[in-house]
Amino acid sequence: MIKAKWWIYQIGIPLVLLYAFPWFFNNAHTIHVAQTFLITYIVIVGLNLLVGLSNQLSLGHVGFYAIGAYSSAILTMTVGLNFFVSILISGLIAAVFGAIVALLSLRAKGPYLAMVTIAFGELISIIANRWVNVTGGPAGIKTSVPSLFGFELGQIQYMWFIGLLAIIFTAGATNIFRGRFGRTFTAFGNSEVASEVLGINVRNWKILAFSVSAFLAGVGGGLFAFQNQFISSTTFELNLSIMFLIAVIIGGSGTKIGPIIGTAVIIGLPQFLHNFVDYHLMIFGGILLIALILLPDGIVGAFTKLSYFKKFSSKKVNTDLGILHDDRKATIDLPDGINGKLLELKNISMHFGGLKAIDDVEIEVLGGTVHGIIGPNGSGKSTTVNVLSGVYMPTGGNLLWKGKDITKYAPHGIAQEGITRTFQNLQLFEDMSVLQNVMVGFHRHFKTGFLKNLLYLGQVSKEERYYAQKAYDLLRIVGLEERAHEKASDLPYGEQRLVEIARGLALKPDLLILDEPAAGASPKEIEKIMDVIQRLKNAGLSIILVEHHMDIVMNVCDYITVLDFGKKICEGTPETIQNDPRVIEAYLGGEEVNQLVAGTRSIG
């Protein structure tokens, strides 16, 4: 039934509307506007994937658009390819450029990324302007009348053709949105470091997001090249990039129907405002400003809040995913336990310039144990966790995992090996539900590829249902099944920590590193968290626990390492640690100071 509904809404109705359009609005101007709408819409669908899902701001989409337009013009006119083939090829060319831009801007985020993309867009537009031999510059070049199988497409047929592509791309984009690819895009857009420690190679995924987005922009550009059988460099300027972005934001970035609304605004509005043509950018600037203030989630976002709010906040089990709420006791699915040395830190040092955050530290973690790492402020606990999870590469020493050297592994590599972690400063994927957060944790277990997801084959939906059920079971283990469909960031702090634990468990880790799991939680929540850790321990999971809350540490840990000023000062069982004078000194103050100050007192 869901399938039938999907075909009606995604394909049937749009097809009918598209086919019927010329009967209602049969004049050349309206058809031309409709073509422009559809072409722009295709670009916006791509930009929405990038900006809305992956949070990668691009102000250079005009570059991909121009590359698409010029390559398809050149491929048809000079090489003599069919226009449709040339459009697809130019989409691929734009995708390659997308990958290049992504690689160049890997470390840039937010405004800096926007700057890189602006530079790219400007570069392409300057080339279009100056490389007159090829592009014709401002005077432009002619393209052919589009034809398919020997039939020339008239204005109306060309509109139908573009519309058909738009419907296909929308269906593809929707499939991407609802499957694991959309989830992964959103995940690294929300938190790169959390995605990495769950085994997502963020670099590759960013390249993919940029490529897909650039592909659609390239195809849009290609379609544009044949709309008027003429293109000139004056079209491809920065303000077009800005308009694209405005459409995404006004429509509601990251929503499925946002692009339709957004495109309608930027294409439709100028039709009513031709008298103010000189003020277009100003008017759009104003609209953007108002939209950002009044409707931060865009038009679609605002409406979902109104009408769907209740539907989303209701706590019913999502039947779409076929989740079973049975009475079986949920079991923790863990890899086989390992006895003996699991992880070894050999003379690990992490120096930041002159600061020795950790210095020559040796720790051995045995399989099946809970190993505590404690120490006063600034003792190097967080640095140790960051080294263990690959967030930092140590400046000295080796990290051995089951005897294998993993010192130089990136976080996603370490996650692939079966080590994951939670974060002291929570790193949940805020735009997702609790269930989706946990589903991202299954990343390394998903098998289906991009094409299968694009088509959303039966295999894909089966896989989705399978892992949704597993994620739900994990939520039952941490006692959060009731919250499965709530937005993760709406949960109380302590429960958010439990979501992170469940998400980490989804990886099916051999070793789970808990970085201050009780920080900021209320006493009641702390009890819950402690109970969960205890149960994981009983299930045989190896855990590294960094925590200030000593009652938890002393009751749960089998073995404890104490750090102070980046050095290991002692290790042993909880009893040993509690009675070790070095530990007491580290926590309560050194002997030297005490004597000095005590001396003061007797004088005073």
* Site for another protein, rule CB under 8 A: 376-377, 491-493, 496, 516, 518-523, 526, 548-555, 574-575, 577-578, 583-584, 587-590, 592-594, 596-598, 600-601, 604
In the complex, the smallest distance separating the C-beta of residue 378 from another protein, rounded to whole angstroms, is 9
In the complex, the smallest distance separating the C-beta of residue 34 from another protein, rounded to whole angstroms, is 47
Q: Indicate the residue among 247 and 513 with the shorter CB distance to another protein.
A: 513
540: left (phi over 0), alpha (psi -120 to 50) or beta: left
Q: Indicate the residue among 362 and 575 with the shorter CB distance to another protein.
A: 575
In the complex, the smallest distance separating the C-beta of residue 533 from another protein, rounded to whole angstroms, is 15
Q: Indicate the residue among 6 and 587 with the shorter CB distance to another protein.
A: 587
State which amino acid sits at residue 292.
L
CB 414 within 8 A of CB 399: no
- Give backbone dihedrals phi and psi of 518, rounded to 5 degrees, phi first: -105, -5
Q: Indicate the residue among 288 and 519 with the shorter CB distance to another protein.
A: 519
Q: Give the pair of three-digit tokens for residue 387.
A: 């080294």
Longest CA span, the chain: 106
83-104 and 202-227 helices, crossing angle to 10°: 140
Please enumerate in sequence order all residues whose Cβ is within 8 A of that of 416, keeping only pairs 6 or more positions apart, or say none.
Answer: 199, 444
In the complex, the smallest distance separating the C-beta of residue 604 from another protein, rounded to whole angstroms, is 5
In angstroms, rounded to a whole number, what is the distance separating the alpha carbons of residues 141 and 71?
A: 12
Integer CA distances (angstroms), 185 to 199, 254, 596, in order: 13, 11, 58
In which residue are the tokens 């989740």 written? Answer: 323
Q: Indicate the residue among 6 and 565 with the shorter CB distance to another protein.
A: 565
In the complex, the smallest distance separating the C-beta of residue 369 from another protein, rounded to whole angstroms, is 16
Q: Indicate the residue among 396 and 492 with the shorter CB distance to another protein.
A: 492
In angstroms, rounded to a whole number, what is the distance separating the alpha carbons of residues 471 and 290?
A: 40
Q: Indicate the residue among 431 and 525 with the shorter CB distance to another protein.
A: 525
Q: Give the pair of three-digit tokens for residue 601.
A: 């007192």
In the complex, the smallest distance separating the C-beta of residue 496 from another protein, rounded to whole angstroms, is 7
In the complex, the smallest distance separating the C-beta of residue 425 from another protein, rounded to whole angstroms, is 10
Count of alpha carbons within 13 angstroms of residue 500, beta-carbon side? 31
CA–chain centroid gap for 271, Å, is 36
- Helix%, strand%, coil% for the chain, nearest 5: 65, 10, 25
Q: Indicate the residue among 175 and 379 with the shorter CB distance to another protein.
A: 379
In the complex, the smallest distance separating the C-beta of residue 587 from another protein, rounded to whole angstroms, is 5
Q: Indicate the residue among 133 and 377 with the shorter CB distance to another protein.
A: 377
In the complex, the smallest distance separating the C-beta of residue 526 from another protein, rounded to whole angstroms, is 8
Q: Indicate the residue among 7 and 493 with the shorter CB distance to another protein.
A: 493
Our CA dihedral for 80, 83, 86, 90, rounded to 10 degrees, sits at 130
State which amino acid sits at residue 122.
E
CB 259 within 8 A of CB 248: yes
In the complex, the smallest distance separating the C-beta of residue 586 from another protein, rounded to whole angstroms, is 10
In angstroms, rounded to a whole number, what is the distance separating the alpha carbons of residues 198 and 554?
A: 29
CB 567 within 8 A of CB 559: no
CB 114 within 8 A of CB 60: no
